[in-house]
């Protein structure tokens, strides 16, 4: 889950991550690629048993380097990758390349996302 799927305010979202960091410690190893020399590590929520609120259980969180975290959350960025934010050209190119690679490797996830978005549009147009 990402902030866009979090049911709460920005301060609650930040506070949640502070609580997770206190509960589980500061990440220094990526659980996906095994990297230990990254500049930044994040706690990423896996969305297990997700009911609209984050749960602070260790099995629902993973330590990821920033690169793996972006890959993990890639499906959440479609259509809103850079909206309202100023990024350097190198950052935009790197993120675009990462997303293109993710979609190429996971076409079924991309197709499901498109079907979900189409269904939401259809329901909105019908007035449901």
Distances (CA, A) of 125 to 48, 79, 121: 31, 19, 6
Whether the model pTM is above 0.85: no
Q: What is the domain extent for residue 27?
A: 1-72
* Same domain membership, residue 82 and residue 25: no
75-122 pLDDT tens trace: 665 555 545 566 678 877 887 788 788 888 888 888 888 888 888 777
Q: What is the pLDDT of residue 78?
A: 54
Q: Give all strands (DSSP E) within 8-128, no chain letters.
A: 41-45, 61-65
Q: Quick one: 38 and 85 in the same domain?
A: no
Question: Are 59 and 91 within one domain?
Answer: no
Which are the contacts of 56, defined by CB distance < 8 A and separation ≥ 6? 16, 19, 20, 23
Predicted confidence (pLDDT) per residue in 32-85, tens digit: 888 899 888 988 877 655 555 566 888 888 898 888 888 777 666 555 554 556
Shared domain for 40 and 2, answered yes or no, is yes
User: What is residue 37's predicted lDDT score, i.e. its pLDDT?
Assistant: 92
Residues 52 and 79 in one domain: no
């Amino acid at each position: 889950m990402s902030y866009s799927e979090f049911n709460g305010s920005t301060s609650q979202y930040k506070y949640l991550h502070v609580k997770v960091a206190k509960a589980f410690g500061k990440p220094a190893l990526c659980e996906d690629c095994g990297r230990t020399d990254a500049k930044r590590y994040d706690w990423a929520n896996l969305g297990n048993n997700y009911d609209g609120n984050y749960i602070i259980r260790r099995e629902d969180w993973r330590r990821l380097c920033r690169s793996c975290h972006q890959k993990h959350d890639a499906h959440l960025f479609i259509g809103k990758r850079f909206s309202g934010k100023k990024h350097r050209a190198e950052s935009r190119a790197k993120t675009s390349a990462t997303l293109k690679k993710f979609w190429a490797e996971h076409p079924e996830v991309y197709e499901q996302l498109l079907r979900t978005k189409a269904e939401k549009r259809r329901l909105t147009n019908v007035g449901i």
